């Protein structure tokens, strides 16, 4: 499919912001940070900026942005609507939690737990927008929500460590963040392996024509004689995007390098006291760059079943 840069930025930016919010809330509940520290408010502000920037960018691909409000009208049946409602609900809940963190720390523990559930639910809803689509086999898999969650938590964790380093706080969470990044890489490897070996839909299946005759003889494969149009259409422009294999391999390699080995090396440099907090901040930026590549590939390599009716034999 044709990648929409606004949606790619939205999923990465909001995911990192929500992941950072989870780390902030968990650390607050564990007693590692409180509202009297500048780190608390710095992380709070960065998370709010990332989430807000992502939500705003998500409307840029709409043909008529004045109709964006309709996304909230189908909460019972639409993952997009659920995501929008939960994302908007984050703001009053976060404001209440910030106020309680200053005024009444005990009550803030309740709102903190609610915010963690709300935040993780928003990430899952974002992933399920794509994972629920039967028309895109490469998205309709358990890998999609798990990958979104792991990359959000790992990216948010690296931002949290970078902010902690600038504030002179402990970097004890670095090991857990790297394990999350490694888990995300493993899930992505399993995803690539799955879709490099299996055929999920063929033109015969699309037209309900069996490839094997009842008597056991091979039935001929259906092929398209005429595409039905002489020039590109909306469907071919949006769903006919083709990514060269050599370019895909190069981007996959860059994605894995930026999301695991490079952050590992930079975190080790930061932990050794070389360069101060700068290498740790660079690790977070490199990781987010790798997630941008991962998300671009996620959209660019998605094959909509409509391609079967425009000459492609399988998706």
Tell me what pLDDT residue 217 has: 59
Q: How many residues does the chain have?
A: 315
Indicate the SS3 state at residue 136. Answer: coil
- Could you tell me if 241 and 3 are in contact, meaning their C-beta atoms sit under 8 angstroms apart? yes
Q: Which CATH number fits domain 5-310: 1.10.150.120, 3.40.50.2300, 1.20.1630.10, 2.40.50.100?
A: 1.20.1630.10
Candidate from 9-13, 116-120, 261-265, 269-273 with smallest mean pLDDT: 269-273
User: Encoding tokens for residue 141?
Assistant: 């898999």
Question: Confidence band (pLDDT; 50, 70, 90) for 90?
Answer: very high
Question: Confidence band (pLDDT; 50, 70, 90) for 219?
Answer: low
- Could you tell me if 142 and 124 are in contact, meaning their C-beta atoms sit under 8 angstroms apart? no
- Could you tell me if 150 and 184 are in contact, meaning their C-beta atoms sit under 8 angstroms apart? yes
Each residue's pLDDT tens digit, 19-65? 999 999 999 999 989 999 999 999 999 999 999 999 999 888 777 77
Residue 216 has pLDDT above 60, yes or no: no
d(CA 125, CA 127): 5
């Amino acid at each position: 499919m044709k990648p929409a840069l606004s949606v790619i930025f939205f999923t990465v930016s909001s995911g990192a912001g929500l992941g950072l919010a989870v780390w902030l809330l968990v650390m607050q509940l564990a007693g590692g940070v409180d509202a009297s520290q500048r780190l608390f408010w710095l992380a709070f502000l960065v998370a709010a900026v990332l989430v807000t920037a992502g939500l705003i960018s998500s409307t840029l691909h709409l043909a008529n942005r004045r109709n964006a409000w309709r996304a909230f009208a189908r909460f019972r049946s639409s993952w997009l609507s659920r995501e929008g409602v939960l994302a908007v609900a984050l703001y009053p809940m976060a404001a209440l939690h910030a106020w309680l963190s200053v005024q009444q720390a005990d009550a803030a523990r309740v709102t903190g737990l609610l915010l963690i559930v709300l935040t993780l639910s928003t990430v899952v809803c974002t992933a399920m927008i794509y994972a629920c689509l039967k028309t895109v086999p490469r998205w309709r898999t358990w890998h999609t929500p798990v990958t979104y969650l792991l990359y959000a938590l790992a990216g948010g964790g690296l931002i949290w460590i970078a902010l902690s380093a600038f504030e002179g706080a402990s970097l004890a969470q670095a090991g857990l963040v790297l394990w999350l990044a490694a888990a995300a890489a493993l899930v992505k490897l399993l995803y690539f392996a799955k879709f490099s070996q299996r055929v999920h839909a063929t033109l015969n299946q699309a037209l309900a024509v069996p490839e094997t005759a009842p008597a056991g003889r091979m039935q001929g494969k259906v092929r398209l004689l005429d595409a039905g149009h002489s020039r590109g259409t909306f469907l071919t422009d949006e769903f006919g995007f083709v990514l060269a294999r050599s370019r895909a391999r190069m981007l996959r390699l860059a994605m894995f390098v930026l999301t695991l080995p490079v952050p590992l090396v930079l975190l080790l440099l930061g932990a050794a006291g070389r360069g101060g907090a700068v290498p740790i901040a660079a690790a977070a930026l490199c990781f987010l760059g790798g997630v941008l590549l991962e998300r671009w590939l996620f959209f660019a390599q998605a094959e909509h079943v409509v391609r079967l009716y425009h000459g492609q034999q399988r998706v």
